Amino acid sequence: MRIGDFVSRKGCGLRILVTAGPTCEDIDDVRCITNRSSGRMGLAVVAEALRRGHEVDLVLGPVEIAPPAGARVTRIRNARDLLAACQRLFPGCDALVAAAAVADYRPARRTAGKIKKSGDGLTLRLVPNPDVAALLGGMKRPEQTVVGFALETAASTQARANAEAKMAAKRQDFAVLNSPAALGAGEAEVSFLTAGGGWTGPEKLGKDAIAARILDFVEKRAAGTGSKS
């Protein structure tokens, strides 16, 4: 199926939920736990989906890049906000592209104001955040498509095994395997995993090209399942 054929044949596009950017887990009023996600990958998916004529709901963490015009944007700060927004939006969508980089832990207690520096050390007790991808995977209907990302630092064989386990546990249909080198960059070395279809790659691609591969898969699977909101 050529790019764009899905929209022209169906007469209208899919409704796609995209998560992008980091989450910030506040320690106090000025400090937080986060990661180096720029949001570029998720926003590239949004831009490509809009270009193809799809409706896009974007749940966006704190980023400096403006989202593409045309998406319905829900701004969030932390993992629990992200989960609540996605639980509200996902049932009405045909697909989810989970590109947000969610903090696995948050401070057990948020301090009001600013923690003052002293000569002593500071110990933070962290508690697990909800596993957003797993909880949304548990909500998935058969006709919905879920795309996930696996960022791994292990050697390639172990990285692929980790990504396969994550896909199965979180009921994902397609996964993009990358490394920390992708954070904030315009391109990344990626491999693609399709449930039941195995691996392709690795190959170095710009994030626009990665987004196009993701949308190709989403459209192809939607055409095969008859998915329509």
Rounded to 5°, the CA angle 170-166-148 comes to 70
Closest CA to 5 of 209, 210, 220: 220
For the packed helices 132-139 and 156-169, what is the interaxial angle rounded to 10 degrees? 50
Let me know if 35 is a catalytic residue: yes
What's the one-letter identity of residue 2?
A: R
- Residue 222 CA to residue 13 CA, distance in Å, equals 10
Contact 36, 60 (CB under 8 A): no
- Residue 27 CA to residue 43 CA, distance in Å, equals 27
At 172, list the tokens.
């994902």
Which of 35, 129, 162, 178 is an active site residue?
35
**Residues labelled catalytic:** 35
